[in-house]
Amino acid sequence: MSQNNVSITLEKITKIKSRYKFSDRFIVIVSGTCNSQSFESVCDIDTGLHFYTEIFTNSQGFSTKEYHSIKRKIKNSFSKQISNKDFEEDLMTIDLFTKTCEQFEKKYYGEKVFFKIPFDEKELANKYNLTFYSPEKLWYTFDKDENINTIRQLFNEVKL
């Protein structure tokens, strides 16, 4: 497909209302394809149409243009005023978005693997795309990472 064309199809949209004390925020799970590449997305939307999304895929990921096109397509599908009647009202947890993203991370990337890495080896950790987890002052990647064996040889793994 030409670099200028991005083809996106939204196949399934599951709307879930999360009951927050002071605002109407909604979690929306979307599955679809972008240029024949499957994806799933978890979106956090409020009635003022503030929008945050995480996009998950089994493949190498999307180009910046594809990523932003997916976000735009999902957001535009909610451009009308959101009605509370449109949403399932069976979930009450405040951190629903985080928990849902964690479920998708496990599905697509596997379990998190944590490492204790000295500050002076920070650049090497970045080279292997490890993510710093500040609450525990540890770095992590996922067990499906193509470099996990090398990373385990280089750094000390920590069990949480």
**Global confidence as pTM:** 0.61
The pLDDT tens digits for 100-149 are: 878 888 888 899 999 999 999 999 999 998 999 888 899 999 999 999 99
Domain ranges (residues) in the chain: 8-108, 112-158
Instruction: Give yes or no for residue 1 having a pLDDT over 60.
Output: no
Instruction: Give yes or no for residue 157 having a pLDDT over 90.
Output: yes
- From 36, 37, 32, select the one nearest 53 (Cα to Cα): 32
Burial-class residue 96 by CB neighbours within 10 Å (0-12, 13-18, 19+): buried
Torsion angles phi and psi, residue 106, rounded to 5: -60, -40
2 pLDDT tier (thresholds 50, 70, 90):
very low
95 pLDDT tier (thresholds 50, 70, 90):
low
Find out whether 138 and 115 touch, Cβ atoms under 8 Å.
yes
- Predicted local distance difference test score (pLDDT) of residue 24: 67
Find out whether 8 and 33 touch, Cβ atoms under 8 Å.
yes
